[in-house]
């Protein structure tokens, strides 16, 4: 980091960020990109302002050639000639919004100071980060704006926020304040967003940036499934492994907005922060407001390079506590096995089956409390359902622990049911507008977490459950969006959503401090609140309620752009899938789910002998490679992104993922196909990042192939006819499977990287032997690739 000739330079391991104070005192961005030499002649980056612009508004009579509209600014306000989206809008006397922030001072701090007392934020020690705080002040009013920058050099990532302070004698109204603004002097970008809805979260959307403005965000009270706060900007020639790529995210779990704007002068502006559509803030005299932190990174190594930076940042500077870099247990969740229809006997049967297969954690999902037999009752009543669990939660937990399993439990503490003891006692705790009938979601309503007494109740009630149940894991759910925002504690309801998130963070901070060894997993109808804010308290989040293998390649693939796979809850569930009714084999379901915090969510007691053997082998494989799968470097080789939500255009769509260790001596590669193609061409597995100086052994994970996949073709080989639903056919299906192809290679790294490995042929309509690969629709293989030492 250096300060030269009114310039401020921030360096990462492979990046450089340069700002300068312009002739009018504004903070201007000169460069953000690949690392420059320390003696680089950066004066060449200075903008040239030698001629007027037609109808442009010059900044002042003394600076008539300074046009803010054509400047790359670190922050922006309306009213002084910058007509792009403003980063800061503050309303004061007579509705005026014109402010003009100029440089006053800056200071450099080792490490990363805490910006909040009870709020999600990044962290680092003095050796891991450097912070610069830049003080700006309006030229007329005593309103201060501090821009905060923390550089994390080892992951080439920067965290930014803004703090505004009102030193006037009257209250002002914050109408918008972005956490981050970056102006890039280039117009050629593809904007990558991660969009969807319930059960189809974070699908990849790519669109070329055009003149005008793109806006993404959420106004539903949580970060939302429609548009994740993560955004990538890729140069037109950017690929997975090369090309300029910027990536951004927000450490916040509420309403957010991302703006990507291309000006008439070829400057691209990016902003992220709290969504002003549902936010204003009354800033009292001598009070300050600090925005949530925003994250940004740059890579010249394509979108995988930017993702690698973000993954390292999340693992090192967002996730914290006992479970940071600790291997996550394999779980069994009872939800899709039983839904609400269970009793103590059924749960113990599931737990025993799980233990016998090698599972480590049993999770009791919804329906264990109050009188809850469906989703219409009992939220808020965190007392055991004695009808279902007559021995109580303590005895159930003891019996599961006696089996050698960890015990986990589902809760939805932010909600209340009208049919509940809590509502009978405290109807005013429910969020509703007096005199209006409230909207309802999933037969439930929201508790007012802006109120301390509500948070205190939740803390005490959950603490009792966690202690009585000797709980090792908590699935924290939140199954609806916000409506009817109202609280008696403050006068402006446009503060409600922000205050709710602040209250949630305070509550989560208390609980995670009181129970530091519990593994918390976030959930919000799946991935409706998948963000960095929640990951500050919970090291993993349920990625989606949709567990279909094909859908998960789209969901987990999109999620992987901004989040590491250790943060993605991923389960093997039933077939046909409960969300899509799509059939897929259990091996392919495992291959996709293995790229995440892994578990099973199906009735293990209903598996036949072959299925149990298959699951047991899967678990053994996962345990053997767990550290690599959870904390290795994740790389996208091919993505079958359905970005325009169109029907699959052809039958050869591929998804290929890899997870690798630090020196590329060990890796696992997923090869997933969408539809099986008759008479297919040659399949080639190329690993472009394989080390040319290594030799590798390549082999697929041994998989079991159900005889049922062949249908009536099995009669071409069977000595007797196996037709219909005969008992003989069912006996064979239950007790016999085929092994997947016998494939094994030794290949030099240069061949694997530059040419690729030709795989054995897939079944294409004729012929079958132990060298023919049977994948079928939505089929896959996991290839284990490991370095072999060259013989002397």
Catalytically active residues are 477, 545
Phi, psi at 630, each rounded to 5°:
-90, -35
Asked if the bond preceding 661 is cis, omega within 30° of 0, the reply is no
| CB atoms closer than 10 angstroms to residue 411 | 22
- CA torsion angle for 413, 414, 417, 421 (degrees, to 10)? 50
Torsion-angle region of residue 747: left (phi > 0), alpha (psi -120 to 50) or beta?
Answer: beta
Cβ atoms of 477 and 363 within 8 Å: the answer is no
C-alpha distances (whole Å) from 567 to each of 364, 365, 453, 518, 538 are 21, 20, 32, 15, 9
How far is residue 92's CA from residue 167's CA, in Å, rounded to a whole number? 12
Q: What is the CA radius of gyration of the chain?
A: 28
Residues near 5 by beta carbon (within 8 Å), at least 6 away in sequence: 20, 43
The long-range contacts involving 602-607, CB below 8 angstroms and separated by at least 24 positions, are 602/336, 602/337, 602/572, 602/573, 602/574, 603/336, 603/337, 603/338, 603/350, 603/574, 604/332, 604/337, 604/350, 604/353, 604/354, 604/357, 605/337, 605/349, 605/350, 605/353, 607/353
How far is residue 68's CA from residue 65's CA, in Å, rounded to a whole number? 10
Alpha-carbon torsion 588, 592, 596, 600, what sign? negative
- E strands of 344-444, at which residues? 361-364, 406-411, 415-416
Structural tokens at position 220: 């539903």
DSSP assigned state of 12: -
Structural tokens at position 599: 């578990």
Structural tokens at position 438: 């409230």
How far is residue 632's CA from residue 308's CA, in Å, rounded to a whole number? 10
How far is residue 727's CA from residue 725's CA, in Å, rounded to a whole number? 7
C-alpha distances (whole Å) from 406 to each of 42, 361, 391, 397 are 58, 4, 18, 8
How far is residue 56's CA from residue 80's CA, in Å, rounded to a whole number? 11
Is beta strand 172-184 parallel, antiparallel or unpaired with respect to 281-283? antiparallel
How far is residue 468's CA from residue 391's CA, in Å, rounded to a whole number? 12
Helix orientation angle between 452-468 and 496-514, rounded to the nearest 10 degrees: 30
CA neighbor of 74 nearest in space, from 20, 15, 5: 20
How far is residue 115's CA from residue 112's CA, in Å, rounded to a whole number? 9
Q: Which residue has the tokens 């439990």?
A: 409
Cβ atoms of 273 and 178 within 8 Å: the answer is yes
How far is residue 698's CA from residue 683's CA, in Å, rounded to a whole number? 15
Residues near 516 by beta carbon (within 8 Å), at least 6 away in sequence: 321, 322
How far is residue 673's CA from residue 256's CA, in Å, rounded to a whole number? 35
Question: Per DSSP, what are the bridge partners of residue 573?
Answer: 601
Burial class (CB in 10 A: 0-12, 13-18, 19+), 102: middle
Count of residues in the chain: 792
CA neighbor of 335 nearest in space, from 371, 361, 367, 365: 365
């Amino acid at each position: 980091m250096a300060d030269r000739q009114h310039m401020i330079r921030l360096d990462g391991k492979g990046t450089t960020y340069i700002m300068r104070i312009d002739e009018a005192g504004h903070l201007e961005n000169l460069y953000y990109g690949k690392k420059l030499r320390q003696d680089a002649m950066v004066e060449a980056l200075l903008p040239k302002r030698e001629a007027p612009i037609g109808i442009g508004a010059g900044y002042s009579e003394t600076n008539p050639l300074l046009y803010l509209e054509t400047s790359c600014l670190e922050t922006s306000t309306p009213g002084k000639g910058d007509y792009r989206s403003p980063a800061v809008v503050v309303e004061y006397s007579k509705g005026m919004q014109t402010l003009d922030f100029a440089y006053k001072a800056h200071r450099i701090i080792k490490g990363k100071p805490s910006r909040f007392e009870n709020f999600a934020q990044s962290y680092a020690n003095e050796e891991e980060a450097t912070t610069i705080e830049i003080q700006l002040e309006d030229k007329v009013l005593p309103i201060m704006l501090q821009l905060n920058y923390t550089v994390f050099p080892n992951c080439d990532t920067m965290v930014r926020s803004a703090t505004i302070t009102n030193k006037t004698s009257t209250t002002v109204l914050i109408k918008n304040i972005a956490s981050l603004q970056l102006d890039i002097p280039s117009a050629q970008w593809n904007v990558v967003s991660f969009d969807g809805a319930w059960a189809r979260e974070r699908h990849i959307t790519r669109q070329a940036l055009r003149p005008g403005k793109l806006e993404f965000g959420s106004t539903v009270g949580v970060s939302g499934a429609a548009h994740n706060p993560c955004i990538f900007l890729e140069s037109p020639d950017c690929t997975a492994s090369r090309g300029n790529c910027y990536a951004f995210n927000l450490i916040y779990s509420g309403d957010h907005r991302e703006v990507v704007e291309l000006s008439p002068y070829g400057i691209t502006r990016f902003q992220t922060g709290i969504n002003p559509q549902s936010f204003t803030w009354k800033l009292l005299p001598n009070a300050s407001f600090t925005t949530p932190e925003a994250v940004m990174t740059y890579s010249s190594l394509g979108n995988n390079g930017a993702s690698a930076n973000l993954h390292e940042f999340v693992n090192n500077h967002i996730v914290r506590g006992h479970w940071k870099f600790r291997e996550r247990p394999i779980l069994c969740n009872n939800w899709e096995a039983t839904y609400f229809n269970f009793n103590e006997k059924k749960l113990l049967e599931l737990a025993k089956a799980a233990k016998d297969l090698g599972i480590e954690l049993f999770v009791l999902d919804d329906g264990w409390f109050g009188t809850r037999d469906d989703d219409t009752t009992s939220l808020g009543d965190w007392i055991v359902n004695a009808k279902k669990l007559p021995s109580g939660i303590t005895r159930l937990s003891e019996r599961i622990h006696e089996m050698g399993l960890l015990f986990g439990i589902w809760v939805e503490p932010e909600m209340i049911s009208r049919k509940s003891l809590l509502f009978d006692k405290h109807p005013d705790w429910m969020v509703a507008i007096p005199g209006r009938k409230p909207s309802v979601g999933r037969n439930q309503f929201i508790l007012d977490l802006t109120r301390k007494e509500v948070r205190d109740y939740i803390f005490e009630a959950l603490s009792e459950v966690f202690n009585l149940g000797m709980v090792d894991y908590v699935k924290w759910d939140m199954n609806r969006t916000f409506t009817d925002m109202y609280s008696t504690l403050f006068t402006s309801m446009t503060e409600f959503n922000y205050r709710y998130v602040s209250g949630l963070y305070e509550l989560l901070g208390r609980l995670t401090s009181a129970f530091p060894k519990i593994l918390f997993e976030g959930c919000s109808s799946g991935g409706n609140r998948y963000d960095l804010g929640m990951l500050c308290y919970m090291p993993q989040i349920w990625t989606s309620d949709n567990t279909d293998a094909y859908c998960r390649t789209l969901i987990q693939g999109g999620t992987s752009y901004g989040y590491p796979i250790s943060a993605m809850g991923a389960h093997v569930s039933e077939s046909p899938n409960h969300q899509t009714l799509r059939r897929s084999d259990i091996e392919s379901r495992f291959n996709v789910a293995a790229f995440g915090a892994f578990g099973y969510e199906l009735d293990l007691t209903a598996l036949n002998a072959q299925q149990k053997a298959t699951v047991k082998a899967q678990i053994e494989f996962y345990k053997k490679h767990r550290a690599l799968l959870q904390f290795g470097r994740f790389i996208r080789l091919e993505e079958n992104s359905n970005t325009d939500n169109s029907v699959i255009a052809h039958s050869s769509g591929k998804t290929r993922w890899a997870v690798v260790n630090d020196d590329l001596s060990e890796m696992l590669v997923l090869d997933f196909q969408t539809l099986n193609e008759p008479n297919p061409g040659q399949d080639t597995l190329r690993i472009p990042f394989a080390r040319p100086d290594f030799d590798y052994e390549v082999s697929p994970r041994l998989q079991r192939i159900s005889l049922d996949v062949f249908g009536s073709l099995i009669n071409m080989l069977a000595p007797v006819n196996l037709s219909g639903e005969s008992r003989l056919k069912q006996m064979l299906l239950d007790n016999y499977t085929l092994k997947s192809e016998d494939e094994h290679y030794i290949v030099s790294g240069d061949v694997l990287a530059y040419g690729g490995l030709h795989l054995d042929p897939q079944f294409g309509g004729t012929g079958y032997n132990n060298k023919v690969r049977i994948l079928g629709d939505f089929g896959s293989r996991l290839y284990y690739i490991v370095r072999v030492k060259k013989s002397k």
